[in-house]
Amino acid sequence: MLIEQIENKWVDCFRRVFQMCELRQGDRVAILSETLSRPINVKLAELALLDLDAQVFHVVVPTPRLKEPVAVRSTGSSPAIQGNESVIAALRSSTLVVDCTVEGLLHSRELKAILSDGARLMMISNEHPEILERLMPDPALQQKVALGVEMLGRAAHMQVRSNAGTDLAIDLSEAPARGSAGFVTEPGKVSYWPGGLCLCFPRRHSVNGVVVLDVGDVNLTFKRYLESRVALTIKDDFVVDIDGSGLDAELMKSYFAAWNDRNAYGVSHVGWGMNPAARWDSLVMYDKHDTNGTELRAFAGNFLISTGANEHAGRYTNGHFDLPLRHCSIELDGKSIVSQGRLLEPLA
């Protein structure tokens, strides 16, 4: 486990990220954390914001009691706020909300209300600062991500294939597209650090086919590389069969079943990684305590499919899998944008 202490270089990293967010002197900035947040990131955010002469205040809430039958990891749907209107009002009145909750607010029920008056939200993923340092946002990536989101938003159909056997068809009509390069400047918008993703949330009755997780693909909920193949059959948005003879398939079956919730089997979002600084192999270098795995969602050319909550399809659940696949080919309306895990122009 890596040491966590204040380092000037990390204060500088946080300062530069907030400068990319175009904070101005006197802007009101709320640092949202919970009692089980990573303290080092909360403190680094505070010091960096004070250096920028922001009006900084903390909103700290108790981490809620566990209500689920299994551990909840990497959902982006923090339950920390618990619908507390006083907390929401404080965050909503800010220029920027720095989200240091354990799970993050990306899919939380309160997010829409927090952003409703123009506040923007910057999620600091629950990572050790060394990971954040390695994955400092690159302003040059913003244009590529914006182009990818535009292409995704215009497309009507996504097709994903791989030599391992993946063959997935996704209807993209009315599917909201999002992306992040790791900083946020527009009112009412959201970003997250580490960044570098393009993704969308398919509406109901949009996803069909087979997803084959091959050896070396990643189950980020478990923070584990697959050591045996797992095939997920998806019909009308839902995983209806999990085929595989190894431990990886058994673990997925067990975790899915523990929720006793059909929505846990639904497709949440699909997309691809854009960040050339993010590494597929980085997970072997960190203890599970040190990483939230956001880097592996973003490594360039991966196909990311996630199961669980999809508010745009009217499905809510805390059961969630983030599954980055290597060596896939992705087409939008017949145009190749990723070939066997390699980003193509104009996105490369």
CATH of the domain at 85: 3.40.50.2300
Which domain does 26 fall in, by range? 8-134
- Clarify whether residues 217 and 252 are in a common domain: yes
Q: Do residues 172 and 337 touch, judged by C-beta distance below 8 A?
A: no
pLDDT for 73: 86
- Clarify whether residues 160 and 86 are in a common domain: no
Q: Per-residue confidence at 75, pLDDT binned at 50, 70, 90?
A: confident
pLDDT for 44: 98
- Clarify whether residues 262 and 126 are in a common domain: no
Q: Given a cut of 90, is residue 96 above it in pLDDT?
A: yes
Distance CA 17, CA 82 (A): 28
| Mean per-residue pLDDT over the chain, rounded | 96
Residue 251 domain-assigned (yes or no): yes
78 exposure class (CB count in 10 Å sphere: 0-12, 13-18, 19+): buried
Query: What DSSP element (H or E) covers 162?
Result: strand 157-162
Cα 313 from chain centroid (whole Å): 18
Query: What DSSP element (H or E) covers 161?
Result: strand 157-162
Q: What percent of the chain lies above the pLDDT cut of 70?
A: 100
Q: Do residues 277 and 138 touch, judged by C-beta distance below 8 A?
A: yes
- Clarify whether residues 55 and 169 are in a common domain: no
Distance CA 116, CA 99 (A): 16
- Clarify whether residues 174 and 312 are in a common domain: yes
Taking residues 173-190, report their average pLDDT.
96
CA gyration radius for the chain? 19
Q: Given a cut of 90, is residue 9 above it in pLDDT?
A: yes
Residue 348 domain-assigned (yes or no): no
- Clarify whether residues 225 and 129 are in a common domain: no
Q: Do residues 206 and 169 touch, judged by C-beta distance below 8 A?
A: no
Residue 215 domain-assigned (yes or no): yes
Whose structure tokens read 């009509």?
173
Residue 23 domain-assigned (yes or no): yes
Taking residues 117-133, report their average pLDDT.
98
Residue 1 domain-assigned (yes or no): no
194 exposure class (CB count in 10 Å sphere: 0-12, 13-18, 19+): buried
pLDDT for 231: 98
Return the structure tokens found at 60.
């700290």
Confirm whether pTM is higher than 0.75: yes
Q: Given a cut of 90, is residue 189 above it in pLDDT?
A: yes
- Clarify whether residues 148 and 124 are in a common domain: no
- Clarify whether residues 256 and 284 are in a common domain: yes
Q: Given a cut of 90, is residue 237 above it in pLDDT?
A: yes
Residue 92 domain-assigned (yes or no): yes
pLDDT for 1: 83
Q: Quick count: other Cβ atoms within 10 Å of Cβ 39? A: 12
Q: Per-residue confidence at 174, pLDDT binned at 50, 70, 90?
A: very high
- CA dist list (Å): 212 to 154, 159, 234, 306, 317: 27, 14, 11, 13, 24
- Among 81, 105, 134, where does a domain finish? 134
Residue 275 domain-assigned (yes or no): yes
Residue 265 domain-assigned (yes or no): yes
Distance CA 286, CA 302 (A): 20
Whose structure tokens read 């204060």?
11
Taking residues 259-264, report their average pLDDT.
95
pLDDT for 64: 95
What phi, psi does 64 have (nearest 5°)? -65, 160
Longest dimension (CA), the chain: 58
| 327 Cβ neighbours under 8 A, 6+ residues apart | 162, 163, 164, 214, 340, 341
- Clarify whether residues 118 and 263 are in a common domain: no
Taking residues 206-219, report their average pLDDT.
98
Number of domains in the chain: 2
Strands across the sheet containing 321-325:
177-180, 197-200, 267-273, 303-307, 321-325
Q: Do residues 279 and 134 touch, judged by C-beta distance below 8 A?
A: no
- Clarify whether residues 212 and 288 are in a common domain: yes
